[in-house]
Amino acid sequence: MSSGDGQQSQALTKPTFSEVQASALVESVFGLKVSKIQPLPSYDDQNFHVCISRTKDTTDGPNEYVLKITNSESSKTPDLIEVQSHIIIFLRAAGFPTASVCRTKGDNITSLMSVDSGSEIKSYLVRLLTYLPGRPIAEIPISPQLLYEIGRVAAKLDKTLEKFHHPKLSSLHRENFIWNLKNVPLLEKYLYALGQNRNREMVEQVVQLFKDEVMTKLSHFRECINHGDLNDHNILIESSKSAFGDAVYQVSGILDFDDMSYGYYVFEVAITIMYMMIESKTPIQVGGHVLAGFESVVPLTPVERSALFLLVCSRFCQSLVLAAHSCQLYPENEEYLMITAKTGWKHLQQMFDMGQKAVEEIWFETAKSYESGISM
């Protein structure tokens, strides 16, 4: 979702390739002839949906791809992007519905493109991934069965990555990465984007509670690699009919591995709960179903569970504060950037009003009901 470390210069680092330039990239770097191309929404990179026309030499393979052009700041960390790309390949081999990473004509998985912008030369890392089928969760009425399935997939993904090895794996230790949940205190320098109001007071309270109650527990959490951005636009769904004729939804695609970093199992479930709340008409109920699915693979420890409420609140704060900040940099992107904000402030306020004990009771009781086979 965000490059994190280069927030101040973010507006200057986002690529601005035209559709014609992007088509030329696909042809020159990957050797594929473009028949149609259109931009996709993106936070601070540039993405294009690419359809290719087959020639006699390229009759096999997919016809649809996503061209990813990484912002110039993140393009300075090619090791990180290489590791993220290898994780996508690894997860696909392990049976996850991730994209295939296409190789360049020179048989690499990324290519560094230099562009003369007049005042300076900027470099952008370019990748091509296969386009995955399915609809984003944001477009589908979300059911307890689907929430459970998403929680289960999130835990399975992190658990599977315990077996991932790569010589540059240490690049996932992203110390000042603004989207890593352990860096919630870094939000303080972006609070100005909220102005002076009740929302800002709420965020200040959450940040303080995070410092007092979560930072002290970090050493007790179990570490793992986090996807870090399992939001309602990064999970794709396809439906099939059950034996009873009902629509049953399965996860058909997992997108956007750009926020991957070392974190903790409890971070992944907190982030997933927060994003699934955004689309729900009964947001407080969501956590228990996601938690039950997650814990069917990775049961949380008591200390991890005790931090869950604050971690969900903290992720709301990250998303809301950084969206407000980015809107000042990219006013033309406001509609995409403010997706979460439409309901996010309302949900955060509701969690605050109910309090930790009441929300936890709903989550934990719902999760417990799955153990006895009666989901609430």
Cα 71–Cα 126–Cα 138 angle in degrees, nearest 5? 70
Sequence letter at residue 268: E
Catalytically annotated residue among 44, 45, 158, 229: 229
Closest to 221 in 3D by CA, of 312, 303, 311, 306: 303
Residue 44 is a catalytic residue: no
Q: Which residues contact 52 (CB under 8 A, 6 or more apart)?
A: 26, 32, 33, 34, 35, 58, 63, 64, 65
Contact partners, residue 56, CB within 8 Å, separation at least 6: none
CA distance 172 to 6: 16
Q: Please, is 84 exposed, middle or buried when counting C-beta atoms within 10 Å of its C-beta (0-12, 13-18, 19+)? A: buried
- Enzyme catalytic residues: 229
